[in-house]
Chain A
Amino acid sequence: MDNSIEQEEKTLTEKESLLLITDMINKARNSYHDNGIAAIMWGCVITFCSLVMFAQLQFNFKLPFSITWLTLVAIIPQIFLTIKEKKERKAKMHEDVAMDYIWLGFGICIFLLSHVTGEIFENLNEAAGSYKTATGEKFPFLFNEYVFPLFLILYGLPTFITGGMCKFRPMFWGGIFCWVCSIISVYTHVKIDLLLTAAAATVAWLIPGLILKQDYVRAKRELKEQHV
């Protein structure tokens, strides 16, 4: 198909019309390539946080601050990336609005879950203290063993939906991997849970992000070659 359409009223044959429609639909569909930076960033942040928390438990040391604060810091570049991306895009896809709400809802759910689990922790710690005083034995229920499965369930949902909607298999399977890790982590020690969380973030976000980045660079190069 000719790249430029200059003849305003050129008579089209049936085949030419269909070819033009197919060509334009393909052009529109291939017009946007996610550069994968957000996925890479969140993949790195969650993997790093999980590994640091694992190292703290494994090697018995404590940082003067909670490493999970890094996730809050990462919101700043995320906002910057989102604004920049929205400004640069010349066409809005049908699924864009749904995606925005899904990931915004995910972010809100993560912070709500962090707050709720934090509150449960505090109350359980009090209960555990009273239990130990009364019975002289350790509290039989360790809530922290069940926190990571909850987060992993949540990690899987938007990842799975995004992968499915965008027909991007690495993210689709990444979402399923999060859920598999969630099931496993119910039955494993919290240290293993942290390693599973790191693995889930790597498989669900970091690796798909790197694949997206590669595709983006390739698409940009091809576009450049077309214009030469």
Chain B
Amino acid sequence: MFKDLDPILHSQLRLAVISLLISVKEAEFTFLKEKTGATAGNLSVQIQKLKDAGYIDVVKKFKDNYPLTTCRITLDGVNAFGKYVESLKSYLGN
């Protein structure tokens, strides 16, 4: 049914992360965790998958001696998200 939909995005948590990142310039890991309500472990795995697909950039640094992970959507991610939404629209249209 959804064979044309991007399998990377067609997952609840990854889609949630991309939807959050499309709305902001960049977001900290804790922001994504808070908004999605996912566990840190699960979120880390999904973020890595999005990063491997080239849809997001992940920057790891330290802030006040604590690790800080910041995520930002890439141009490929924006395009993939746009395509995904267009596909969804066409399915709903049918």
Instruction: Tell me, rounded to whole Å, the shortest Cβ–Cβ distance linking B90 to chain A.
Output: 10
User: Bound state CA distance, A93 and B20, in angstroms?
Assistant: 11
User: Bound state CA distance, A28 and B26, in angstroms?
Assistant: 11
| A20 & B24 in contact (Cβ 8 Å cutoff) | no
Q: Does A9 touch B at the CB level, under 8 Å?
A: yes
Q: Contacts A7-B12, A25-B19; is A90 near B34 (CB within 8 Å)?
A: yes
Q: Does B92 touch A at the CB level, under 8 Å?
A: yes
A binding-site residues for B, Cβ under 8 Å: 2-10, 12, 14-15, 17-18, 20-21, 23-25, 27-29, 31, 90-94, 96-97
| Contacting residues, chain A, for B58 (C-beta < 8 A) | none
| B12 & A28 in contact (Cβ 8 Å cutoff) | no
Interface residues in B, total, Cβ within 8 A: 31
User: Bound state CA distance, A2 and B35, in angstroms?
Assistant: 11
Q: Contacts A28-B20, A29-B23, A91-B24; is A12 near B15 (CB within 8 Å)?
A: yes
Instruction: Tell me, rounded to whole Å, the shortest Cβ–Cβ distance linking B74 to chain A.
Output: 15
Q: Does B65 touch A at the CB level, under 8 Å?
A: no
| Contacting residues, chain B, for A29 (C-beta < 8 A) | 23
Instruction: Tell me, rounded to whole Å, the shortest Cβ–Cβ distance linking A89 to chain B.
Output: 9
Q: Which of A15, A20, A31, A96 is close to B12, meaning CB atoms less than 8 Å apart?
A: A20
Q: Which of B13, B28, B92 is close to A18, meaning CB atoms less than 8 Å apart?
A: B92
Q: Which of A5, A31, A91, A97 is close to B16, meaning CB atoms less than 8 Å apart?
A: A5
User: Bound state CA distance, A10 and B88, in angstroms?
Assistant: 17
| Contacting residues, chain A, for B27 (C-beta < 8 A) | 28, 90-92
Provide a sorted-by-A list of 22 A–B residue pairs whose CB atoms are within 8 angstroms.
A4-B37, A4-B38, A5-B16, A5-B36, A5-B37, A7-B13, A12-B12, A15-B92, A20-B16, A21-B19, A23-B19, A25-B20, A25-B22, A27-B20, A31-B31, A31-B35, A90-B28, A90-B30, A91-B20, A91-B27, A93-B25, A96-B25
